Structure 1
Amino acid sequence: MHRTTPVRRALALATAALTTLTLTLVGPGQAEPAQAAIGGITWQDEFNAPAGTPVDQSKWRFDIGGGGWGNNERQYYTSSTSNAVHDGQGNLVITARRENPNNYQCHYGRCEYTSARLLTAQTFTQTYGRFEARIKIPRGQGIWPAFWMLGNDIGSVGWPNSGEIDIMENIGREPTTVHGTIHGPGYSGGGGITGSRTVGAPLADGFHTYRVDWEPNSIIWFLDGVEFFRVDPSRLGGNRWVFDHPFFMILNVAVGGNWPGYPDASTQFPQQMLVDYVRVSSYVPGGNTGTTRLRQAHSGRCVDIPSANPVDGAKLQIWDCNTTAAQQWTFASDGTVRAMGKCMDPAWAGTANGTEVNLVTCNGNPVQRFTLSPAGDLVNISANRCVDVRDRATGNGGKLHLWDCTGHASQKWSRY
């Protein structure tokens, strides 16, 4: 969650609201989002136990207490089936309840509310992949549901150095808006790097899928399968990227706090978050590593360095596929695509339609990172645009450039 740690009485974080970035949704004629190299399911909970069954503790454990959780929250988290239980209809139900304030002691006095916070820190962690849940969130002023992740090294390096990935957060006063955020050293609390999507009806009216696709140097957020936000190291203003080690998942419903504010007379209790499933899929580095020729579907020709001369600024082209070094491309672990000792590069770090794709000395600039999606899109991650051939030329010598991903065969590439 924004501005939080898993340790009681942790840092009191900034109270300023996050500066959010609402991105234009993908529509006809707009860029299709890049797809991560995602493999099979590695962990899942479908919550299909009979009604009244407690949480499966081989998958989830509980944080317990009322320490404010770094945000001046007002709930006491319990492990009781009163706050987290299977409903017998395929859902986990996390319930926030108004309580007798004499029953629970909080950092500020007596707690008025109970809820639950489930985590996989002791049962499951993973680096990279797809993390997705189908959730019907609760509603109301001061209600704060979240599906999020923390770095598993938080106990040794502390927060925010461990990193935090907020897959889904909603605050009750914004019923139609989902937020996705990262926190790390130099960009935590109110300074988290965040994006949002606003829809036409309250998210609490029905189930929605919330997901991130997390790859080396890239995290992409989706609501109901539609991308709405992405980050990479270039977004951090020179601060350190800490999303390269295992993370664990958290599901919770907070009540009150610096960001959402506190319940008022309009807030009804109990409030419930229903979770249909949580699924995690693997990241498949083999989808984006190794040496290969890159063959275009439209022309049948391959990405080529002109005259096999690897000078800086060489304008990459398509040419009859052959076995020369000029067509031997390596997908490196840092996300670069290399041949003859140099990197595929958008000219002058450009991200606009029509930016030439050249060969340049590898320099560590994030704009030199590309991914080959399962759909065959060779996408520049910084631009979120596809490698294409100018004017959809099919003959030898057609020059490469970046363009909005349209699904045309001119933008489809395969290993060959």
Structure 2
Amino acid sequence: MSRLRLRSLLLALCLALAGTLTTAGTGQAAPVTVDNGVRFTDTSGDPLHAHGGGVLKVGSYYYWFGEHRNADNTFRAVSAYRSTNLRDWEFRRHVLTQRSDPELAVANIERPKVMYNRRTGRFVMWIHKENGRDYGEARAAVATSSTVDGDYTWHGSFRPLGHMSRDITVFADTDGTGYLASAARDNYDLHIYRLTDDYTRVASLVANPWPGGHREAPALFERDGVYFMLTSGATGWSPNQQKYATATSLAGPWSEMRNVGDSTAYGSQTAFVLPVRGSRTTSYLYLGDRWGNSFGGTVNDSRYVWLPLSFPSPTSMTMDWYPQLAIDAEAGTVTGSGGPYETLTARHSGRCLDVRDRSLAEGVEVVQYDCNGGGNQRFWFRDAGDGTVRLAARHSSMCLGVRGASTFDGAVLEQQWCDDGAHQRWRVEDAGDGHVRLRAAHSGRCLDVLDESTANMGRVAQWSCTGGANQQWRRAS
């Protein structure tokens, strides 16, 4: 082979490799749809554990860091995932684990947040650290890495300027100054600290704007020169009313806290607010946790609530529920979709189809109960194709399905994680006088209140279609 031909082949190979690397790092993210209030899985199909976490964009990738627990709810790792489109998350590694330092062998690590320090070229993680038994330590901790998803080096834990520190978040301002917001004094105060130039220590207390406010789970972001602080009340794992405040300087003055969303933040607690900056606009995405501990599970059982934030004025904010989000990370748009939700009232009893005890657990039976407007009595008739629908419950985002995919009479109805199974698909048929029948796609049987019961807690199952009033349902939105 001639030297000229060899050089040409090598040049072509180099150009091909360069093109491959460029495409992998900077490819545009196509618009995606994200289901809300559910467990997320990574691109390998494994549960995604990034609870209480935060997101950092590096290049074309969003990196999501969060809590990953052991089966007994103790600390296992801070896990890192990455995505270009905010839906398809690739697991990268456990960047901080029980083995990273002796102090972490028996510990509780919560709410990891990562910033990039332009001065040092290092990624800095701040964490709420406890002793693994209770919440008596109330310390902040720091770890750093030279790469965003590499092993993080533990730098120890401490109380910032001697103050208690529990739920935290971090914020890097446009001038490069780093800040830490931390729940202090048993969560009765919420401190804002300025960090040292390398982001690894606390330099000074900037503000304590709401003394005695009893707020936790802070999320701090800036929009068009206005700083927003979004927080939760302190009610343990149970959701409560989220509130926010605004200022034009982190040192204040800050406004009073004002309500946002519904009285439970749609069953969630603040974890982070992510600015999604694109070619067309910037959207602000609320990331919340629906904690598994609040319904009898563990942190690893938690679900994710993501909602677009809206801004009626420069200093006001609203947050509404949507069962789905349409996200175009390239354009920077995040919009809600899905619904509406409807009730189903049994013709023979006047009672509503109801997920028992408002439970969020999988496998809970469906009954009839006095109509009360609860989210466990409202369902989204979600188009499943081929003329069928899935019934997705408002409170849990789960679908109503026939237990065990049984085809027999009397198989009970329960809430299940939504899938493509025919036992979760229903044909809606006109039953006359404003009522419908719901016929299971897999069995051809109808949704039935067993024994024609008119009592509260009457069981609901599939049964051979009879045309009876206990198989007829009135839809109302």
- Tell whether the structures are fold-level matches, with TM greater than 0.5: no
What is the TM-score when the length of structure 1 is the normalising length? Answer: 0.29
What is the TM-score when the length of structure 2 is the normalising length? Answer: 0.27
Which protein is richer in strand relative to its size? Answer: 2
Report which structure shows greater RCO (CA 8 Å, sep ≥6): 1
Higher radius of gyration, 1 or 2: 2
